[in-house]
Amino acid sequence: GVGGSGTIFLTGCNLGCVYCQNYDISHLGHGSPVSVEELSRGMMHLQNMGCHNINLVTPTHFIPQLVKGIRMAIERGLRLPVVYNCGGYESVSTIRLLEGIIGIYMPDMKYSDRQGAGRYSNASDYFDRCREAVREMHRQVGDLNLDSRGIARRGLLIRHLILPNDLAGSREILRFIAEEISKDSYVNIMFQYRPMFKAAEYEELNRRPSLDEYREAIAMAQDFGLHRGFGR
């Protein structure tokens, strides 16, 4: 939409991705401290600017403070949907606490392979945790709902980044979404990977995925009956 997303980056991350594209914020600790009061005022400022949502990026490790800030902003008149923009490595019990607070969940589904998740993100149990979290997110908000302008108002939007050499295990991720979440799931299959941060230390990660690899993932999604989203 014309108003854009009101993005708030949170310093740090609960994953250790060696190819992180926001590593200065997620790994190097760049950022400025703000109080809950300042956070709530910032949300109101974004609404007053005409943004379409409040987009919280890597929020997992700040949930208590964020919930307080959101509630304070709602008391001040916040009407925008709040986006939970996360890496997908979540606790179901924590996601349950967000019911009624978060309007749009936007998790990554990075890996289906335990070895890759452990080697590249220090989270060998990633897929187990991510599947359960995504199930709970979908239970709360359902499939992504767009208004007449094509702007997301509520629901689940899943992102999947194509890695070179199928290091993410894309087939099983797409199968899971189609068969265990919903064939109407909105899935953003991303072609933006490039070697950054420490990726050059891993030969298998040290290149961009090919166009054929990307097209293969799109074809798999379609074969499983997924039909919303995709794109580069």
**What digits encode the pLDDT tens for the residues 157-175?**
999 999 999 999 999 999 9
Q: What is the pLDDT of residue 27?
A: 78
The first and second tokens of residue 96, run together, are 């349950």
C-alpha pair distances (Å), 129 with each of 115, 124, 126, 183: 15, 10, 5, 21
Judge whether residue 178 has pLDDT over 70.
yes
Q: Using one digit for the tens of pLDDT, what is the confidence trace for 72-86?
A: 999 999 999 999 999
- Report, in this order, helix, strand and coil percent for the chain, each rounded to 5: 40, 15, 40
Which of 108, 221, 194, 89 lies closest to 231 in space, CA to CA? 221
CATH number of 6-229: 3.20.20.70
pLDDT, tens only, 106-159: 999 999 999 999 999 999 999 999 999 999 999 999 999 999 999 999 999 999
Mean pLDDT calculated for residue range 190-216:
97
**pLDDT of 220 above 90:** yes
Radius of gyration (C-alpha) of the chain in whole angstroms:
17
Q: Take residue 24 and report the two structure tokens written for it.
A: 């200065």
186-223 b/e (C-beta count within 10 Å ≥ 16 → b)? bbbbbbebebebbbeeeeebeeebeeebbebbbebbee
Question: Does position 28 have pLDDT exceeding 90, yes or no?
Answer: no
Give strand pairing partners of 146: 152
How much is the pTM?
Answer: 0.96
- Domain segments of the chain as ranges: 6-229
- pLDDT in the model for residue 65: 97
- Distance, CA of 129 to CA of 139 (rounded, Å): 16
* Residue 12 confidence (pLDDT): 93
